[in-house]
Amino acid sequence: MSNTQAILDIAKKTIETEGEAIHNLTSFLNDGFANAVNCILTSKGRVIVSGVGKSAIIASKIVATLNSTGTPAIFMHAADAIHGDLGTIQKNDVVICISKSGNTAEIKALVPLIKRGENKLIGMTGSMDSYLAKQADFILNTHVKKEACPNGLAPTTSTTAQMVMGDALAICLLELKGFDSNDFAHYHPGGALGKKLYLRVQDIATNNMKPQVKSTAQVKEVIVEISEKMLGVTAVIQDGKIVGVVTDGDIRRMLNKFDNIGGLTAKDIMSSNPKTIDADVLAIKALEIMQEKGITQLLATKNKEYVGVVHIHNLINEGII
């Protein structure tokens, strides 16, 4: 067997092992899971997620997912908790402890302290006979038959199962809270993701130069306007309204068609009924129209008045594409 084939076989086996484990998680969903979701949903506090080792890393990811989907959460390392960080847990908080075995020393030390504070405890573990499972108010079963690691030692399948169970928890809370795209934009104002959800055409168009000429403008004036405004287009305006558009493409077609362009005006070479978009529309909609129509810019309007141009390069620069 070639080295390449051996590598691919190992990778395939790893993915299949973890995929099977994830599929099996559905059989562990029961009233306990639903009760855990409702416990968090009705809580007046936050969700504190804790673990050690690789489970701590998964706990951090779950915290990030909960926070970004409208459920306030804080990560607390189990080892640090018993050495001063226990104050992270407030009166109404719900605590999730994650541990594959449910019997680690840190978890055994932490659980009684959580119970002493009368906080609800959700245990996420792969062992239903473990200390954590027996002490928890609610149990999220993440049992896996085997790790993807051939030695059965490195947490692989088990941590994948923990992460997926955390996602299931977060999405249940998201849907029950009615968390929608507007809420998502509120929690994700930065980066391409946020911009797709809140950036509007007017945010771009009003920052661009505003190319425009009268319908009676000579061709030289049209070319200068397109060149100076650097958007590859100019609107043609008559009586304050858009009556056409002239693009770089229109200029090239004109030069191919006419030997003498001295007497031509914007009206002679413009494209009538240009594609426009309302300035209040999301910028991602402008991209969809450009892709559908095979064009690179749109004229933006507000209350039927011309306000500027949105160019596909703007969308690229904003990271929307």
- In 3D space, the residue among 76, 70, 97 whose CA is nearest the CA of residue 171 turns out to be 70
**What burial class does residue 295 get, using C-beta atoms within 10 Å of its C-beta: 0-12 exposed, 13-18 middle, 19+ buried?**
middle
List the alpha helices (DSSP H) in 89-207.
105-116, 131-135, 157-177, 181-187, 191-198, 201-205
Q: For residues 110 and 80, what is the distance between their CA atoms, to the nearest angstrom?
A: 10
Q: Is 277 helix (H, G, I), strand (E, B) or coil?
A: strand
Annotated binding site: 77, 83, 216, 268
For the stretch 73-77, contacts whose Cβ atoms lie closer than 8 Å and that sit 24 or more positions apart, written own/partner, are 73/46, 73/47, 73/48, 73/49, 74/46, 74/47, 74/48, 74/49, 75/48, 75/49, 75/50, 76/48, 76/49, 76/50, 77/50, 77/51, 77/52
Q: Binding-site residues for Zn(2+), please?
A: 77
Binding site for substrate, by residue number, is 77, 83, 216, 268
What's the token pair of residue 70? Answer: 């409208």
> Closest Cα partner for 311 from 198, 231, 226, 234?
231
Tokens coding 25: 């998680």
Instruction: Give the SS3 label for residue 158.
Output: helix
